């Protein structure tokens, strides 16, 4: 099942500058299709064109975001939020691009590993994705008493 997509200004800004935030192009290619990465460039350029020249602080944030500065994304998101409220056509354009990028997110279909320990009858199944999402399932067996 795909992650639900919340199209806030912050989420859109993160998608747009994902290429610069990731530690390298190889890491990004592990998470997104080539088409989605190309759409990220299109999204970033649309945001850049709309926000550039609004203020020196915004211009500086745009430049820093392209250098991989995660803190600059919040400045971009705040300014983008205002634009999205004021310009519904532009907001829709960005949302369509963001949905196309999200559709190109590669799913992790790897198997989970289950560790079974015989000494305490506990089974643990776990998988961790890059980015911090963890899936853990536990089941404990306590047995029944033969004293009844």
Task: Give me the pLDDT at residue 2, please.
Answer: 43
Which two structure tokens, joined as six digits, stand for 68? 């991989």
pLDDT at 76: 93
Angle at the Cα of 55 from the Cα atoms of 53 and 60, rounded to 5 degrees? 90
Tell me how far apart the alpha carbons of residues 86 and 82 are, in angstroms, rounded to a whole number. Answer: 6
How long, in residues, is the chain? Answer: 148
**Rounded Cα gap, residues 40 and 32, in angstroms:** 10
Instruction: Give CA–CA dist 103/76, Å, rounded.
Output: 23
Ranges in the chain, pLDDT < 70: 1-6, 22-27, 107-148
Contact 47, 41 (CB under 8 A): no
Residue ranges covered by each domain of the chain: 9-103, 110-148
pLDDT of residue 134: 61
Give residue 85's pLDDT.
93
pTM (two decimals): 0.65
């Amino acid at each position: 099942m795909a992650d639900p997509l919340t199209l806030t200004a912050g989420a859109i800004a993160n998608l747009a500058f994902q290429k610069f935030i990731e530690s390298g192009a190889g890491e990004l290619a592990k998470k997104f299709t080539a088409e989605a990465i190309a759409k990220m460039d299109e999204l970033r350029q649309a945001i850049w064109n709309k926000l550039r020249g609004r203020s020196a602080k915004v211009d500086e944030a745009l430049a820093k975001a392209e250098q991989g500065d995660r803190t600059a994304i919040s400045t971009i998101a705040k300014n983008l939020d205002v634009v999205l409220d004021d310009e519904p056509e532009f907001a829709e354009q960005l949302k369509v691009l963001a949905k196309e990028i999200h559709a190109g997110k590669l799913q992790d279909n790897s198997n989970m590993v289950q560790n079974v320990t015989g000494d305490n009858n506990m089974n643990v199944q776990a998988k961790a994705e890059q980015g911090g999402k963890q899936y853990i399932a536990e089941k404990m067996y306590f047995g029944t008493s033969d004293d009844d």
